[in-house]
Chain A
Amino acid sequence: MIGVSIRIAFVLLTAASALFLWRLFKGPSVADRVIALDGLLIAVTCGILVETAREDSVTSLDTVLVVALVAFVGTGVMARYIERRGGE
């Protein structure tokens, strides 16, 4: 039962990552790409959490916090960059 829902969750997260990637390549402005990258890292965070549930151990868990923190710091830095330089 849990294995089936883990597979479904992986499929949904992969589809979401594909959509975020599409916006990352396509996005007309820098801010669109920042949004897409943030969403992609959120999908990666959730993917690592689901992976923890799949293998029922804590080996891949430490990376979750790092990825979540990098997503926030990246968004903040890019927002500062856009505000100072003006992004096209």
Chain B
Amino acid sequence: MGSVADVIAGVLLVFGAALILLAGVGVWRFDDIYARMHAAAKAPTLGILAIALGVSLSVRSVVVTVTALLVVVLQLVTGPVGTHLLGRAVYRRLRPPLTGVDELARDEEARDR
């Protein structure tokens, strides 16, 4: 039982760290701020989830499990909110050029009218 849980925990730890690295590669390589934001917002959430699960499986104590759960819930709640705030600020103030359809401009124009 213990060794099986350890193997699963190890796989989850490496998987989560690889997802964080993937977010880092996205932030490093993408050449558009929206693309960078997209890379930095989504992958780390699953990465933190996997790492918290792996740590809980590895240490097997109530305190660690509860704290890891709190971290995951915090990330799930605050990650989208923070990205949304930053994305709106970037859209309104920095005005980087968009490729494709800009639906928000149409909506804000309709609101201002």
- Chain A interface residues toward B at CB < 8 A: 1-2, 4-6, 8-10, 12-13, 15-20, 22-23, 29, 31-32, 34-36, 38-39, 42-43, 45-46, 49-50, 52-53, 56, 58, 61-62, 64-65, 68-69, 71-72, 75-76, 78-80, 82-83, 85-87
Query: A65 to B94, alpha carbons, bound, how many Å?
Result: 31
Binary per-residue interface labels of chain B (69-102) against chain A in the complex, 1 for a CB within 8 Å, 0 otherwise: 0110011001101110110111011101000000
26 pairs, A vs B, C-beta closer than 8 Å: A1-B7, A1-B10, A2-B6, A5-B13, A9-B51, A12-B14, A12-B20, A15-B21, A16-B21, A22-B28, A34-B86, A38-B82, A39-B24, A43-B20, A49-B48, A49-B51, A50-B51, A52-B55, A52-B64, A53-B13, A64-B71, A72-B81, A79-B86, A82-B93, A86-B93, A87-B94
Does the CB pair B71–A45 fall under 8 Å?
Answer: yes
| Chain B residues whose C-beta falls within 8 Å of the C-beta of A35 in the assembled complex | 27, 33, 36-37, 40, 86
A-B contact count (CB 8 A): 179
Does the CB pair B48–A83 fall under 8 Å?
Answer: no
Does the CB pair B36–A12 fall under 8 Å?
Answer: no
Does the CB pair A65–B67 fall under 8 Å?
Answer: yes
